Amino acid sequence: MHSNDIAWLSLAVIMFHEFEEIAFIEPFLNHSEGDPQASQLPFNSLRGISTAATTLMIGLNFVLFTLATLLSVLFGWYSFLWGFLAVFTVHLVMHCMEWIQYRRYTPSTITAYATLPWFVYALWRMAAYGHIRPFIALVSFIIMLVVMSIELPFLHTLEPGIDRWIQRTFSTPKSKK
């Protein structure tokens, strides 16, 4: 399997993981309401945010992921892609740890466990092809880690405003009697 194939398949696998979050965050939060651990549970900051707003934020990330993948494939920036995929692998490991820490299902843990082997394979395979320059991959990993550590919380701060905009723009006007 060539690194281009790994790049595009990884994008699809990322979205498989994201779909679990889209589908189950709201039901998970509704189910955990009143739980003494609720404030500590993952995704608690999204309580009261619509699935539509969460989906839009994940969609924005998908655009960024696709752009990173496209640039990597077009210009042969596999070390950059490796750094990005390594950060996503860390993200998956953190989701796996949630299940261990909270001893219950949290949205994204099933696909985190299911897709983690793919990303370990993808990282290994890209390195085995010789497409990775270790120093550039390490720098890319650090840069992507910093960027995602800023970008994700920033997007979460936008979610309430996005949610209000969606509700205001697409809610059905009440009829006047």
* Diameter of the chain measured on Cα atoms: 71
pTM across the whole model: 0.85
pLDDT one-digit tens code per residue, 30-59 = 888 887 777 777 777 777 888 888 888 889
The Cα–Cα gap between 98 and 20 comes to 15
CA angle 50, 158, 19 (to 5 degrees): 45
CA angle 90, 17, 88 (to 5 degrees): 20
Q: Is residue 29 very low, low, confident or very high in pLDDT (cuts 50, 70, 90)?
A: confident
Amino acid at 21: E
pLDDT one-digit tens code per residue, 54-113 = 888 889 889 989 998 999 999 999 999 999 999 999 999 999 998 888 888 888 999 999
Structure tokens at 7: 């790049």
